[in-house]
Structure 1
């Protein structure tokens, strides 16, 4: 075949099936690039397979469970087990900060109204409340409005509550309760506190170290009156209704 004019000395070959065409020969660089790309793709596939294997063998779940346990322990602020150093041997001096070291007597029985030390443990959630006749309430006035404790105590007595102490709140609480009321009870008085809390809107609840079921009804600056019986019954039903707990997502604590 004659070489066309202007292409003398250059290497070309005839390709194509429809008609002859002139094109350069294949380069080796393309083959090298394709080979390297294939190796990278195989490496990525192998890495993904290892990760899938770890997921199905449970290593990831075990690590997540340990992380959740650590998160719960740090959130509660309490160790999962009592340290050995927390218990002292017989005859050894008490640990610093303990009631025995400070000379404070152990709590026994119900302290006087308004004098109980606050407890760090919150009142437990309840789904049932006692009858008003079984609840002893101490009505204490923390405001400057005279006669408010006696008036509120009479209204609570008309609703069936057993009224205990009626008077002014301790000096530490005078003009220090901004809401409508503050209800103070022990762990055994959680149901009684819920029943009393439904009688007044905007009341807060606090726990102390008393062991009986009595409740201190401390009247605050925002108190105006008790709720009417129908509104109180509706509030009590809402307070005793257990709140649904959302199911945790897979992999979450």
Structure 2
């Protein structure tokens, strides 16, 4: 060919447009990203409707509340009067009170230990109805049981004291032990398990 179309050199003119490799790479990357987003969205929808693998949180699942564990250990049943040894000591100026009181406690099932006058540290120094004294272990066992017989008495413990016996030290304001019927009712109430307050139960239901 001559004129302007004359071929010169050893190369032929390009008769088709160049390949657009950059566009193909971009389209491939875009497709991969789209597929990834689609898969991620599908997993999110599955988690929403299944509760993330937790049956209890799935849509429409019913929550079941289990009883709440107590914060404190279950109370030990108080000992029976026949297992409690009581020393009856008179700290007043009135004679015969220790013997009379000890006889009455024995009728009510208590074991009687020493009967006599109070030691010097308590003699004529107990102004109330009485003083119930025992070792530290008796604070929630023997002393509450003995207190059913004389509710107005003060309770004390002595960490250095040995043995299991407790003292009933009669004070100036003492008149007599609680009526036996009242003492029996107090003993029965003491032996009953502690009931959870209604308000606490209602709060637990709301929490569920």
Equivalent position of 1:160 in the other structure: 109
Distance (whole Å) between structure 1 residues aligned to residue 137 and residue 81 of structure 2: 15
What is the CA-CA distance between 1:192 and the residue it aligns to? 1.2
Distance (whole Å) between structure 2 residues aligned to residue 222 and residue 240 of structure 1: 29
Q: Quick check: 203-212 or 218-227, which moved more?
A: 203-212
Q: 1:184 aligns with which of 115, 133, 137?
A: 133
Asked if 1 retains the 8 angstrom alpha-carbon contact of 2:133 and 2:166, the reply is yes
Asked if 2 retains the 8 angstrom alpha-carbon contact of 1:189 and 1:212, the reply is no
Count of aligned residue pairs for this structure pair: 124
- Taking structure 2 as the reference length, the TM-score comes to 0.53
What is the CA-CA distance between 1:234 and the residue it aligns to? 2.5
Secondary structure at 2:121's aligned position in 1? helix
Distance (whole Å) between structure 2 residues aligned to residue 180 and residue 243 of structure 1: 31
Distance (whole Å) between structure 2 residues aligned to residue 193 and residue 139 of structure 1: 13
Q: Give unmatched runs, 5+ long, in structure 1.
A: 1-125, 248-253
Q: Deviations over 1:205-250 (max 9, x none)?
A: 0001323221000001111111122201223345566486897xxx
Do the aligned partners of residues 147 and 130 (structure 1) sit closer, same or farther apart at CA in structure 2, a change above 3 Å counting? Answer: same
Q: 1:232 aligns with which of 177, 180, 183?
A: 183
Distance (whole Å) between structure 2 residues aligned to residue 233 and residue 159 of structure 1: 9
Secondary structure at 2:115's aligned position in 1? strand
Q: Quick check: 228-237 or 173-182, which moved more?
A: 228-237
1:198 has 2:109 as partner: no
Do the aligned partners of residues 238 and 175 (structure 1) sit closer, same or farther apart at CA in structure 2, a change above 3 Å counting? Answer: farther
Distance (whole Å) between structure 2 residues aligned to residue 141 and residue 189 of structure 1: 21
Q: Give unmatched runs, 5+ long, in structure 2.
A: 1-74, 201-208
What is the CA-CA distance between 1:174 and the residue it aligns to? 1.7
- Taking structure 1 as the reference length, the TM-score comes to 0.44
Distance (whole Å) between structure 2 residues aligned to residue 211 and residue 188 of structure 1: 10
What is the CA-CA distance between 1:199 and the residue it aligns to? 0.4
The RMSD of aligned alpha carbons is 2.5
Distance (whole Å) between structure 1 residues aligned to residue 187 and residue 81 of structure 2: 12
Asked if 1 retains the 8 angstrom alpha-carbon contact of 2:131 and 2:156, the reply is yes
Distance (whole Å) between structure 1 residues aligned to residue 185 and residue 109 of structure 2: 18
What is the CA-CA distance between 1:173 and the residue it aligns to? 1.0
Equivalent position of 1:169 in the other structure: 118
